[in-house]
Chain A
Amino acid sequence: MEQVRQTVREALRDAMAEEMRRDPGVFLMGEEVGQYQGAYKVSQGLLDEFGPRRVVDTPISEIGFTGIGVGAAFGGLRPIVEFMSFNFSMQAIDQVINSAAKTRYMSGGRIGCPIVFRGPNGAAARVAAQHSQCFASWYAHCPGLKVVAPWSAADAKGLLKAAIRDPDPVIFLENELLYGRSFDVPDDPDFLLPIGKAVIERPGRDVTIVAFSRMVDVALDAAGILLRDDGIDAEVINLRTLRPLDVPTLVASVTRTNRLVSVEEGWPTAGVGAEIAALMMEHAFDALDAPVLRVTGADVPLPYAANLEKLAIPQPDDVVAAVRSVCHRA
């Protein structure tokens, strides 16, 4: 397939534009999505093409516009609700969980809520504790949601298009630091990536490193160091979806490598890595030659000082150390 070089930002914009052209029920709402062209310029040009009926600037009222989005989805539309940052989704989390995620079940399947909640998640650069939280494990905890976290521009495009077409609420966790990164993206308006499927970004024999979103970069960097310095051939899995987790891909990889290290920006307790470790106990116990190790964000609110911030967020060296440990090379 023909590939085009695109930034993650452009891929997200194109995904929304293509789906809005395809389905008149799709609309975008959120703070600064229209006239301002997106707080991070993700919705650049959408107001010009689709007009204010379908690109709706909201006041700063997270729970209000989230609930309005949910009601619109109940009413048959397909809203894309942008959170300027997922940190602000905490204001709206009651509507996300109690209204969007639970209603299909509570209604015995009578009402669906086809809605996408998207925006940047996790740490950016020097914005400190209240603007730097990873919500992956919060949302991945909840039945009734799908939780997606793209890394590359192709991930962003294929998964966002799939999320918009999905009949259920999808939490779509982007990363501000990736918006400007360029990747190859298939040049096809029907390019979709399946929700619930992970991908092996770098095949390897000796250890499996599992990551999502920006931590895929960290894992790949670590894999490079490990090969160069230790001769360890690491397999890097990009989870892409956190709920439902692609357990078969993880189990198949661990069955080959016999070792697993998970990497995430979020906090350790009840995190995505904790879930992966438990799943490997349940599904791959006999394949493991070492305990599963987690590399996570430090168990503190994210600090501002540049040196402390770096210490709090997983770095390639942290992953390298964890891999050496599970490979008994420490």
Chain B
Amino acid sequence: MTPDGIVQPGKGLVMERGAGVGEPSAEELIRLYRDMLLIRRFEEKAGQVYGTGLIGGFCHLYIGQEAVVVGLQACAAPGDSMVTSYRDHGHLLACGVDPKAVMAELMGRRTGCSAGKGGSMHMFDVAAGFFGGHGIVGAQVPVGTGLAFAHRYRGDGGLCLCCLGDGAINQGQVSEAFNMAALWSLPVLYAIENNRYGMGTSVERAMAGRAMSERGFAYGIPGREVDGMDVLAVRAAVAEAVAEIRAGGGPRILDMKTYRFRGHSMSDPASYRSREEVALMRSENDPIARLRARMLGEGAIDEAGLKEIDGALKAVVAEAIAFAEASPEPVPAELLTDVLAEGRG
């Protein structure tokens, strides 16, 4: 505090690096790896299937960002809730939703997790703690804050993992939600998936002021930057933040430095970033390759073991595609159902 009563940004608000969750066991490393690779293989296939026309509309792939949601979910407890934006396929998979239901939704089939009515951007699975899947940039942030409000109101010990992109950080409602979350000390972790570009506009061209992790400082929300391409760094930072939130410390912000290897959506000309930049990130900073190298280095797994995992996951994805393709579209009568609780609106 300065003599005139102004809190200095950064003083006492940057989260201290604590003990975290300790070193992961070999089994946990393998689980994190498998969870990330499932998303990768799923999204690669989704991209291919999109090209055949079986998936339509907007389709935002998560490839490159897998460490973020997998690290987050590694620290979630039963009863916690999660929301995110429209780049949500990976979040559903990380929440444990059946890949068949996600792929079927992408193809607009009635077996999809939203019965074919939501599509890529609007998927939900309340039983898995996943509350969407929101198509309006930033709108999920007050909604996630409201889920945290409900956790606190009920006293169920849960918290909300509220994901947002770097583009959402400049939406007014995000600042409103930060303020109220801090004011009411709500149990919410704001995980900024900072992939450097809000569609085609870089963070530098969109955001004034200091680091994104400090966006909550005005409200007294501690924040810090995290290497979002290192699932273990994500896991450690989230574990610490979650422990503080569960202890009643109120909201936390993590600025996860990540990168998407694909375009913003399937129709992205990618003219706003260089091929070299993307190639360098892919070759030097792939979260899956990084964990693989560590696992091999530590002897947690060998090449044969990796191959077995990959083969199994590819089979899971192939099965999901076969299931979705074989599933029927919604019947015409379903056009008019689910508008209101009693059916037709």
Contact = CB atoms under 8 A, between A and B. Distances in A.
Contacts of A74: 131, 143, 146-147, 150
Contacts of B131: 71, 74-75, 111
Contact of B146 (A63, A68, A108, A111): A68
B145 interface: yes
Nearest to A115: B146
Interface in A100-157: 103-112, 143-144, 146
A109 B116 CA distance: 11
Contacts of A144: 339-340, 345
B180 interface: yes
Contact of A68 (B115, B123, B134, B149): B149
Given A58-B180, A67-B177, A107-B124, A99 B143 contact: yes
A172 to B, nearest CB: 16
A99 B136 CA distance: 9
B124 A110 contact: yes
B331 interface: no
B247 interface: no
A99 B139 contact: yes
B343 to A, nearest CB: 9
B112 to A, nearest CB: 7
A296 interface: no
B174 to A, nearest CB: 9
Contact of B126 (A69, A73, A111): A111
Interface string A202-216: 000000000000000
A94 interface: yes
Contact of B114 (A110, A166, A168, A244): A110
Interface residues of B, number: 50
A27 B150 CA distance: 11
Contact of A110 (B126, B147, B148, B151): B126
B338 A109 contact: yes
Among B112, B131, B160, B179, which residue has the most Cβ atoms of chain A within 10 A? B131
Contact of B142 (A70, A105, A166): A70
B340 A146 contact: yes
Interface in B118-170: 118, 122-126, 131-136, 139, 141-151, 153-154, 160
A40 B150 CA distance: 27
Contacts of B83: 71
Interface residues of A, number: 42
Interface in B79-125: 81, 83, 112-118, 122-125
A95 B142 contact: yes
Interface in B180-229: 180, 183-184
B172 interface: yes
A121 B152 CA distance: 32
A64 B176 CA distance: 5
B183 A59 contact: yes
Given A71-B145, A143-B345, A98 B153 contact: no
A68 B184 CA distance: 12
Contacts of B112: 108
Among B150, B151, B160, which residue has the most Cβ atoms of chain A within 10 A? B150
Contacts of A167: 340-341
Contacts of B147: 71-72, 74-75
Nearest to A97: B136
Contacts of A105: 117, 338-339
Given A71-B145, A76-B150, A76-B154, A64 B124 contact: no
Given A67-B141, A76-B150, A107 B176 contact: no
Please list the 5 inter-chain residue pairs (A to B) with the smallest Cβ-Cβ separation, ordered nearest first: A71-B146, A67-B142, A108-B115, A64-B176, A75-B150
Interface of B: 81, 83, 112-118, 122-126, 131-136, 139, 141-151, 153-154, 160, 172-173, 175-177, 179-180, 183-184, 337-341, 345
29 contacts: A58-B180, A61-B176, A61-B179, A63-B173, A65-B142, A68-B143, A68-B177, A70-B143, A70-B146, A71-B146, A72-B146, A72-B150, A74-B131, A74-B150, A77-B154, A94-B136, A95-B142, A95-B173, A99-B136, A104-B338, A104-B341, A106-B122, A107-B115, A107-B133, A108-B112, A108-B116, A108-B118, A143-B345, A144-B339
